[in-house]
Structure 1
Amino acid sequence: MRSISILLAGASCLVTVPAFAEESADAEITVTGIRQAYQGAFEAKEVPQAVSVISSETLEDNNILRLTDALDLNASVSRQNNFGGLWDSYAVRGFAGDDNLPSGYLVNGFNGGRGFGGSRDVAGVERIEVLKGPAAALYGRGEPGGTVNIITKQAEFDALKVNASGLFGSFDRVRFDADANLPVGESIAVRLIGFFEKSDSFRTTVDSKRYGFLPSVALKLAEDTVLSYELEWTHSEADFDRGIVAPGGNLNAMPRRNFLGEPGDGPLEAKVTGHQLQLQHAFSDDWSVLIGTSYRETDLEGFSSEAELASGRQFLGRPATPNVLSRQRRFRDYEGEHFVVRGELSGDFELGGLRNRLLVGVDYDEFDNGQLFQRFRPASVTATSTEAAQYAINILNPVYGRFPLPVTGPLTNRLDQQKAYGFYLQDQISLSDALQVRIGLRYDDYDVRSLNRATSVSQNRSFSRVSPQFGLVVKASEAVSFYAAYGEGFRSNLGARANGDVFDPEFSKSFEAGAKFGLFDNSLSGTISLFNLKKRNVLAADVANPGFSIPVGKAGSTGLEFDLAGRLPGDVDLLFSYAYVDAEAKADVLDPNFSLQIRSGDPLINIPKHSLNAQLSKRFTIGDDRGLTFGAGIQHVSERLGETATNFFLPSYTLVRAFAKAELIEGLEVFGDVKNLFNETYFTNSFARLWVAPGSPRAFTVGARVSF
């Protein structure tokens, strides 16, 4: 298999660095786990970049089960169109990427969000890092607003640990999780993680089921060498749900509970099979090498019935049919195949009396994106149009199965392939005890092929790019440091123009400056940052060829962030995150989906200017050192544009949550939480007035957790 040969080639290139092992031959080095690629060894105050971490304890306290819900805890991240709830889509600092694809998060530094594996479950997640700002010069091929990196729970050598939990909640939710870390002798460890969940919804007839198995194995080849393997195998089924409609912008035109699809379509199924293999070797305390490969297959398949968005084909709002919605029926079979291999050398050394912390790496990334898309679409409305011909449903009183399910016809059958080779170098130089400079660059060589499988016509395009980065860190005191950073990057646009030419990539520039500080002997840490981001070659409508796009758009985002986390006096835990984001178009273009006029200065869709998330919790000791924890949090999201190039805005909302847990006996804990405590009506995201995602009403959860 090609992945094996490439991995061996990369390993042979990087492992042949013999001098470092000889210099520290007498040193005792013990490697206990796999470090994170692309990051190096730095204290938080030494990094010229805003970084927020969501721990597994925070996820557990809030009973968070999805990546999207976890990212709500950070105000810099805003929800985007999530494809009927079947994938993760979000923007960091106002930039979301391609709204027709899932957001590209990382898993242990490997691209894990590309493809169609459904929404990410948090089972097996150790922590979630929101790496904001100009990091593209290191990671490459990403959005300038930032990157989300999921760190998974991996096999550990130290001790036997077993955790299991079960919960029951509103809308008939049932879930079971298990996590067992099993050391086998001193050199082998196995970790077995699994989950199962089944739930209905506040939306009539909509339900879901998901399960997965996430094992990992660690093998200590020597005191200074660890090999790890991790499997991701998940399956999810969910009814496709575009949400409610807001004719004329009226969000109260129908009950939130009414489902406007067809139960007869059955669920869409999403499947993931992924593998990660990593080898870490320490030559000394100061030099190490990390080699890894990842291979991930995803598949999304099924039928759906959705609101027709073209006004000329739509019954809804007409005098004779004010509450009757014309619908499309669609079939999708989306497949993703993603392969990555990388190698990284990390070193800490002195040169000319100055400390240097160096990262040098290479990576290869290959992504195949296959899309088979079929559609039935109602004809333009005439005086003789019937509800059957329009595949219509009443939004106030939906009757399912009223008409035979329409047969879908071919629309798209294409395969987009991307291959990229990258080289990166970063050096952080300590000019003095108080001043550090970071210099880095990344070179990428990219090849894109777009094949129309229906016509066998294909187009190829190759390009290369050098993305520099610069950073400065000034240590004002033991508690305060200031930083500034600049970086450039790019992201490939999938697809092709009307003439078949592959799109140019997006190019970006980003700048941020801020301060990091610690309070109460660093038990409370915070970051305040200012940022300015720009990108060009954003896709816009091709006026001469309706239905096609061209890369001519521009966008920008400026803002301020304030993040604070840790422990206050009185042993009160605090989590606080606020963001002001002004994200807008920077050129007059036509929107690629509906060819509506976008003006320079128009806000970007689904980006609130103000977001806030705050949480307080406290643990009390009762009896024989038993713990009782209470906590509460609040989330505020200001109004945001709900449809590009229009004046349709989703209203602001404020949600309150509360949680508690109690240790009954050693190793047995009960927990509970309530979300949307005051049962507020709200809307999380939108693509158009007829595709609006309503938020859940008040929901309760109770459960128990055992560990030993």
Structure 2
Amino acid sequence: MSTLTHLAALATSIALAMAWMPAQSQTVDAIAGPPMGPEEVVVVGVRQAYRGNFALTEIPQSIDVIEAGTLEQNGIIRLNDALDLDASVARQNTLGGLWDSFAIRGFAGDENIPTGYLVNGFNGGRGFGGERDVAGIERVEVLKGPSAALLGRGEPGGTINLVTKQGRLGETFGTVGVQGGSFDRQRGDADLNLAFTDFLTARLIGYIEEAESFRDIIEEYRWGFLPSIGLAVGERTRLTYGLEKTRVEVPFDRGIVVLNDDFDTVPRERFLGEPGDGDHVAEAEGHQLRLQHDFNEQWSLLLGASVRDTLLTGFSSDPELATSRQPIFIDGESLSRQRRSRLYDSKQSVYRGELSGEFHTAAVRHRLLVGADHDEFENYQDFRRVRPSSVASHPSEEEAYVIDIFDPEYGRFSLPTPLPNNDRLDVQESMGVFIQDQIELTERLQIRLGARYDDFTLRTENYLTDIVSERDDDRISPQAGIVFDLNDALTLYAAYSEGFRANIGTDVSGVIFDPEDSESIEAGAKFAFVDGNLSGTFTVFQLEKGNVLASDINNPGFSVTIGKARSQGLEFDLNGQLPGGIEVLLSYAYVDAQSRSSVLDPNFSFVIEPGDPLINIPDHQLNAQALKRFRLWQREIMAGAGVQYVGERLGATGTDFTLPDHTLVRIFGEVKLTDHITMNGSITNLFDEDWYANSYSQLWVQPGAPRTTTIGIKVGF
């Protein structure tokens, strides 16, 4: 079904829904913006899906919110960098820098597709549109712990929800900015809110960027257009449309090699692929249409639909991982490589509806959330490769497609032609209904009960083997929580939930896996001190999940099961303002994530034992920053500094290869030159430390950027 057909169907359903919506005379408070007169439109904001009418302190779950202002202060323009601000999130393998990949509380998603995240409550991260830019993001919500009882999908460690900037009714404003910095980076962006009438607004957001890299050969070009249109249909109804159109062009980059645990084996800028492969290109086009109607102060209806198409295509030359095919383990310098090609195409459509409100039974207050959604994800992968021969057969250097890691000579050999390895379409369809009731037993005690039922179908069509696999399954995901206000400054909570994530794809024989299942328990305290200016959360948690998958190294694009895993730990998040006007942000996490099964690792034929750590998960992680605003020379100035610590973590499953810990310091600031012109700048990795973002094996290690300076000017009106 085409995008236009999807949206036409939604528009029809919205029209029908509006037809039966009763007229109301009671004024509803604005969700965002200043109070308005009785004859004016009052619905100026958009409620968040699956949330209901709750303050964060009333939710029995740890939630960290990273605001757009914090991202701008730090000069952050990529989602992976933004998530570094929350210590519960750890970087994972990003497919040569071409998709977002992260773990929350120690658990990552499917290694063969990007880590999923939500955009305004819609699934939006499973496609191949390249690393997400933060342009157009109002805030990043880190919803820790499983949310399957409402969302139905996602990792038990947590879910990322990106809330995008929406048109603000009745206002016209905007900013235009330019940035430049290290590695010849040049960027321009704009955010314009144009109010055509009191009830119709367009918000136009876009960016264009071109940059080199600290890595040899690597140059990147990207652009994005992210507009939205807001329409108030009467006093209580808001219709919002959003578009996502992006493109990324960048060479595929597997990073450096590390031999015998020597991280100085090669310089961190050394590129070991082939410039002749050219760029990988990642494109995304997405549409969202949402309708909100407030019946009165208590009850609200949300209807919505989202469709998103992505495409990733290109060639790369990647280090061979199989020891039997890798001469570098013999002579220490000749790196054999595979040549690969990728054509990854995904399509996702989501439809949902939700009703939220409150009622009383006797003296007991209930806040109800009930809804349903339908999700369809099509994932097509045409993956091709050619591998070097076994070293035992004494292949020539050209047959092994080698490169000297100490003196690379690019273009030395003709580029090998990749052969078909995986040509497959995976289709995942699910239909879910959910209900949640938060019951206020007393002024200080609330309990939350909820459950979700999902019915889903997985189908795989393997065009190389002509094997079609299909599986139907269903799940009930319950949740329960309790919230107790000890006093005005301290709230205690505890929660239990179960969840699942359907494992997309099959093993090499065409067998579809059982879904991952999970159980979670957490307890904590939410506090607000210094007259409410300083707030935070302390949490302890334990998560367990089964039917965990890993990539099949001998059959890329396929997976194998490695059993059970467990994660436990504690978190502490703090943000706000100290006396003296010092704004602070602190996030610390201790995470013990480990295997709970004894299995043979399919990637490298090592035995994984219970207690072995999970890959790329540090035990300790910390991010802290402080800033101060003041006046100097009749100018408004902001100056701040931050530090991030990431502990040692496993760099290759089933081995003792570890990435070293690192501490990165950053400084940032801004000066308001005039009422409308602001200059800002940042320096990351201030002391130019060598660090490593993630790895998959000792031959695929991603080095982090050296000292990086950015300066920009923004003009507003």
TM range (shorter): over 0.9
Change (3 A) 1:564 1:542: closer
Conserved 8 A contact 1:561-1:577: yes
Conserved 8 A contact 1:10-1:342: no
Partner of 1:403: 413
Q: 1:455: how far off? A: 3.1
Partner of 1:706: 715
- 1:153, 1:540 → 2: CA distance? 36
Residues 545-560 of structure 1 mapped to structure 2, 5 A cutoff: 549-551=559-561, 553-560=563-570
Q: 1:317: how far off? A: 2.9
From 335, 355, 365, the equivalent of 1:325 is 335
From 665, 682, 685, the equivalent of 2:694 is 685
Partner of 1:477: 487
TM norm structure 2 = 0.95
Partner of 1:433: 443
Residues 14-413 of structure 1 mapped to structure 2, 5 A cutoff: 21=22, 25-27=25-27, 30-318=42-330, 321-382=331-392, 384-413=394-423
Q: 1:236: how far off? A: 0.3
- 2:557, 2:431 → 1: CA distance? 32
Q: 1:264: how far off? A: 0.6
What letter matches 1:7 in structure 2?
A: L
Residues 546-585 of structure 1 mapped to structure 2, 5 A cutoff: 549-551=559-561, 553-585=563-595
Q: 1:27: how far off? A: 4.3
Does 1:646 find its partner at 2:658? no
Q: 1:546: how far off? A: 12
Q: 3-state DSSP class of the match of 1:497?
A: coil
Q: 3-state DSSP class of the match of 1:304?
A: strand
Conserved 8 A contact 1:134-1:469: no
From 649, 656, 671, the equivalent of 1:662 is 671
TM norm structure 1 = 0.96
What letter matches 1:218 in structure 2?
A: G
Partner of 1:420: 430
- 1:195, 1:492 → 2: CA distance? 35
- 2:26, 2:452 → 1: CA distance? 35
Q: 1:302: how far off? A: 0.1
- 1:376, 1:360 → 2: CA distance? 51
Change (3 A) 1:14 1:440: farther
Partner of 1:7: 10
- 1:507, 1:28 → 2: CA distance? 41
Over aligned residue pairs, what C-alpha RMSD do you find? 1.9
Structure 2 residue runs without a partner (length 5+): 30-41
What letter matches 1:568 in structure 2?
A: L
Q: 1:387: how far off? A: 1.2
Conserved 8 A contact 1:172-1:200: yes
Conserved 8 A contact 1:203-1:259: yes
- 1:413, 1:555 → 2: CA distance? 30
- 1:185, 1:623 → 2: CA distance? 41
What letter matches 2:211 in structure 1?
A: S
Conserved 8 A contact 2:170-2:197: no
Q: 1:550: how far off? A: 4.4
Does 1:490 find its partner at 2:493? no
- 2:246, 2:265 → 1: CA distance? 37
From 603, 606, 624, the equivalent of 1:596 is 606
- Residues 620-670 of structure 1 show CA distances to partners (whole Å, capped at 9, x for unaligned) of 02355x310100000000000000000000000000000111001111011
- Residues 25-64 of structure 1 show CA distances to partners (whole Å, capped at 9, x for unaligned) of 4445621121100011111211100000110100000000
Conserved 8 A contact 1:614-1:633: yes
Q: 3-state DSSP class of the match of 1:139?
A: coil
What letter matches 2:354 in structure 1?
A: E
Q: 1:594: how far off? A: 3.0
Conserved 8 A contact 1:38-1:109: yes
Q: 1:134: how far off? A: 3.0
- 2:294, 2:503 → 1: CA distance? 38
Partner of 2:36: none
Conserved 8 A contact 1:125-1:150: yes
Q: 3-state DSSP class of the match of 1:670?
A: strand
What letter matches 2:349 in structure 1?
A: F
Change (3 A) 1:26 1:638: closer
Q: 1:416: how far off? A: 0.2
- 1:364, 1:458 → 2: CA distance? 23
Q: 1:499: how far off? A: 3.8
- 1:402, 1:111 → 2: CA distance? 44
Does 1:637 find its partner at 2:646? yes
Conserved 8 A contact 1:504-1:551: no
Residues 444-483 of structure 1 mapped to structure 2, 5 A cutoff: 444-483=454-493
What letter matches 1:290 in structure 2?
A: L
Change (3 A) 1:41 1:324: same
What letter matches 1:475 in structure 2?
A: D
Change (3 A) 1:225 1:545: closer
- Report how many aligned residue pairs link the two structures: 702
- 1:544, 1:316 → 2: CA distance? 19
Q: 1:3: how far off? A: 2.6
Q: 1:249: how far off? A: 2.7
Conserved 8 A contact 2:359-2:367: yes
Does 1:520 find its partner at 2:523? no
Q: 3-state DSSP class of the match of 1:155?
A: coil
